[in-house]
């Protein structure tokens, strides 16, 4: 091997060593770059988390709401009506007012007071500025000649209840309302107005296992019409001799409606809203008020039209 050949061999080996060195350096540079990228990503994630924590700390806390207290309410349905409006007050306040627009004059005014067992409040009520009741005991439902009190279907009306005091015992048999005593420290009172709904829209209460039975008639009936045990809502019609001067007594032991006609003239239109015996009557002097001029022994047609009745009903004509 001459000098020239030796030089070429040495040059080849030097180039090979340089190539390996460059490859190793390229790997090192790649690993360093990857490490920098990982550190940068970790730093960015830390910044994001820190910002989220700061924002959360600055936002107002959303507190969980307290459980809602059920609002006070009179029954939605009672005495054949659906509640139109109501207002509640608490002592020492002494007045509440309701405003409403009725569709009809078939209205019932309801009141309720609660000041403890065996205690009662006295109240006065005005309807459109007209006195309705004065210093009357609170509670129950009542109706009136609403048109005389300025109530007109389709127009606004205003009713105000004012508490006069705690009801005193008074003197038995004494005329006038009971005395009004100072009000207690606490108590509540309510005023509501219900409007009549059709019998077929009124929700009846749950039926008891046993129905109440009728008491014996007040006298020997000259005419009696009773419900069909298999179909209590079936219409009944009979022809009978008119007993002369008499009292008509009608009763039923389930919710429902009963219409009674004499010679096709309606003399009773009675609705009953609870289970238990309910009754109504026509007095002897009422026949002519219905336009009926009947003589004793005359043949008359008596029609009983029940609606939604599910138990017993009875209609009796008892001579007087």
pLDDT of residue 36: 54
125 CA to centre of own chain? 23
pLDDT reading at 55 higher than 50: no
pLDDT reading at 179 higher than 60: yes
Rounded distance between C-alpha atoms, residue 319 and residue 209, angstroms? 36
Checking if the pLDDT of 138 tops 60, the result is: yes
Tell whether the model's pLDDT for residue 319 goes beyond 60: yes
Residues 267-271, mean pLDDT to the nearest whole number: 96
CA 153 to chain centre: 22
Phi and psi, residue 16, nearest 5°: -65, -40
Structure tokens at 252: 């039923």
Query: In the block, which residue shows the tokens 């100072």?
Result: 182
Arithmetic mean of pLDDT over the chain: 84
Separation between Cα atoms, residue 320 and residue 243, nearest integer Å: 9
Q: What is the pTM of this model?
A: 0.70
pLDDT value at 121 more than 90: yes
∠ at Cα 138 (270, 208), nearest 5°? Answer: 45
Question: Distances in Å between the alpha carbon of 154 and those of 10, 103, 151?
Answer: 119, 6, 9
């Amino acid at each position: 091997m001459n000098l020239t050949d030796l030089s070429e061999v040495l040059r080849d080996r030097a180039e090979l060593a340089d190539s390996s060195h460059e490859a190793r350096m390229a790997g090192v540079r790649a690993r360093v770059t990857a490490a920098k990228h990982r550190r940068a990503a970790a730093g960015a994630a830390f910044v994001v988390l820190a910002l989220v924590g700061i924002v959360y700390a600055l936002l107002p806390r959303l507190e969980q709401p307290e459980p809602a207290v059920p609002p006070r309410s009179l029954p939605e349905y009672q005495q054949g009506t659906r509640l139109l409006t109501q207002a509640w007050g608490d002592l020492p306040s002494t007045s509440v007012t309701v405003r409403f627009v009725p569709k009809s004059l078939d209205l019932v005014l309801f009141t309720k007071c609660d000041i403890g067992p065996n205690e009662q409040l006295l109240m006065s009520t005005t309807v459109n500025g007209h006195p309705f009741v004065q210093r009357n005991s609170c509670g129950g439902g009542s109706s009136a000649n609403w048109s005389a009190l300025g109530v007109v279907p389709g127009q606004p009306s205003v009713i105000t209840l004012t508490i006069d005091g705690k009801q005193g015992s008074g003197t038995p048999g004494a005329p006038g309302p009971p005395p009004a005593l100072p009000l207690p420290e606490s108590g509540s009172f309510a005023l509501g107005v219900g409007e009549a709904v059709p019998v077929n829209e009124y929700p009846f209460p749950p039926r008891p296992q046993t129905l109440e039975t009728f008491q014996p008639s007040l006298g020997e009936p000259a005419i009696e019409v009773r419900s069909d045990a298999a179909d209590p809502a079936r219409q009944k019609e009979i022809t009978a001799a008119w007993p002369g001067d008499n009292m008509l007594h009608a009763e039923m032991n389930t919710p429902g409606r009963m219409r009674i006609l004499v010679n096709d003239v309606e003399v009773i239109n009675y609705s009953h809203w609870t289970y238990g015996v309910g009754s109504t009557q026509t007095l002897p002097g009422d026949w002519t008020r219905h336009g009926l001029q009947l003589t004793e022994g005359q043949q008359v047609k008596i029609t009983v039209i029940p609606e939604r009745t599910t138990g017993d009903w009875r209609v009796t004509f008892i001579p007087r």
